[in-house]
Structure 1
Amino acid sequence: MKRDHQRTDVENITDEMLVSRIVEVNDTYWFGILYDRYARIVYYKCLSFTKSVEEAQDLTHDIFVLLFAKLRTFKGQSRFSTWLYSFVYNFCVNHMQRNLNKYRQVFVPTEDFADETAEIEDEVILELKEDTLKKAMEEIDPADKMILLMKYQDDFSIKDISTTLQIGQSAAKMRLKRAKHRIMELYNKIN
């Protein structure tokens, strides 16, 4: 069987073209190129959820195995990278929720941030002490962690978050607002 591995300038092939080739010929050569482009990014996303190098490596492997089978579901309605981030975030959140008892502790809300109607400014979140914030991020619900990472680690706009999560912009704003309140509750409990 002849393979479609002509000497193509791989750097000039867009992600979308690569996905199309992978889906057309089901060829691991092209998937390897896609893997090389995104493995590091996916690994660090997984690591931000688990904090365990071994578990992040396992999650990255599992994501790419599943991704090979799921590439046919990419419809090109957004950039491939946006679709992939959504895929990775959802995979990690599902993994974390399956192992919820291992990663989350029950907490009682503090009085300061119990009112979710009050707005918490981004500057307040950005000025939190890093070590305490890391502890709070380990305890927070995976779905809240996901949206906070999108906003503050990946610098996603509300539009990017809504596209990635496939929800409306007002729903994205509300989820972010709730997640900010929850991280402040945990932060104050730890601090």
Structure 2
Amino acid sequence: MSLERDQPLIMKTRNGDMGAFTILIDRYKAMVFTLAMRMVKNREEAEEIAQDTFLKAYKGLKGFKGDSKFSTWLYKIAYYRCLDYIKKSGRSIETTSIDTVFGNRLIDESNVVDHLERIEKKEAIKDALRLLPGDDGILITLRYYEELTLEEISGVMGISANNVKVRLHRARKRLMQLLIVRLEPETIQDYAK
């Protein structure tokens, strides 16, 4: 469905219509920026990476074959731009931004204790995601917070869907082990339900 919606804009862009490319940018800028923020943890750097991603996408659009959705292709470009940036800056990959798990709900006075417990759980998950090695946090973020399919993650990360499935399983196990250490056992049971 996404490819059908994007294909006319892709064709127009290939024919020199910058307005069509602007529509594609508007359609996907939040997605690209969010991934960059999750990976580099700095707004200015994420904005720079997002701009670089769209520039690279524009230059490479003639090579886009349509084998995958445009969004998956764009995500892959953004992912590798982030990895390049992190590598050049000498940092390691950290994945946080789990804010979307609990949302921004309004609380009333009778619910303050519950709200504080949710904040504590959210912080424990953030800490655990930061401690996951390599791409584990990115895999969990792409699958559960960005809701990409295994095939889409495969396209983004350049590994097979089966490899994604195996690595995601291992990442979940590592995350659970970290959470067991950080949260009380009954809290873990709440998440398992």
Question: Normalising TM by the smaller chain, what interval?
Answer: 0.5 to 0.7
Query: Which deviations, in whole Å up to 9, do the C-alpha atoms of 1:147-181 show, x marking residues without a partner?
Result: 11111101223333334434333211112123224
Q: Could you tell me how far 1:139 is from its partner in structure 2?
A: 4.1
Q: Could you tell me how far 1:94 is from its partner in structure 2?
A: 3.4
Query: Aligned AA for 1:76?
Result: G
Structure 1 segments unaligned to the other structure (5+ residues): 1-12, 105-127
Q: Distance in 2 between matches of 1:136 and 1:97?
A: 22
CA contact (8 A) 2:39 2:82 kept: yes
Structure 2 residue aligned with 1:18: 9
* Aligned counterpart in structure 2 of residue 152 of structure 1, from 144, 148, 151: 144
Q: Distance in 1 between matches of 2:15 and 2:34?
A: 29
Query: Which deviations, in whole Å up to 9, do the C-alpha atoms of 1:127-147 show, x marking residues without a partner?
Result: x92112223333444522221
CA contact (8 A) 1:93 1:143 kept: no
Structure 2 residue aligned with 1:29: 19
Structure 2 residue aligned with 1:10: none
CA contact (8 A) 1:46 1:56 kept: yes
Cα distance, 1:142–1:158 mapped onto 2, change above 3 Å: same
Q: Distance in 1 between matches of 2:175 and 2:87?
A: 17
Alignment: residue pair count:
155
SS where residue 75 of structure 1 aligns? Answer: coil
Question: Aligned Cα RMSD in Å?
Answer: 2.8
Q: Distance in 1 between matches of 2:87 and 2:48?
A: 16
TM-score normalised by the chain length of structure 2: 0.66
More displaced stretch, 159-168 vs 55-64: 159-168
Task: Return the structure number with greater helix share.
Answer: 2
Q: Distance in 2 between matches of 1:177 and 1:146?
A: 13
* Aligned counterpart in structure 1 of residue 167 of structure 2, from 163, 168, 175: 175
Structure 1 residue aligned with 2:126: 134
Identity among equivalent positions (%) equals 29
TM-score normalised by the chain length of structure 1: 0.66
Structure 2 segments unaligned to the other structure (5+ residues): 95-119, 184-193
* Aligned counterpart in structure 1 of residue 85 of structure 2, from 80, 83, 95: 95
Q: Distance in 2 between matches of 1:146 and 1:186?
A: 16
Query: Aligned AA for 1:157?
Result: T
Q: Could you tell me how far 1:37 is from its partner in structure 2?
A: 1.3
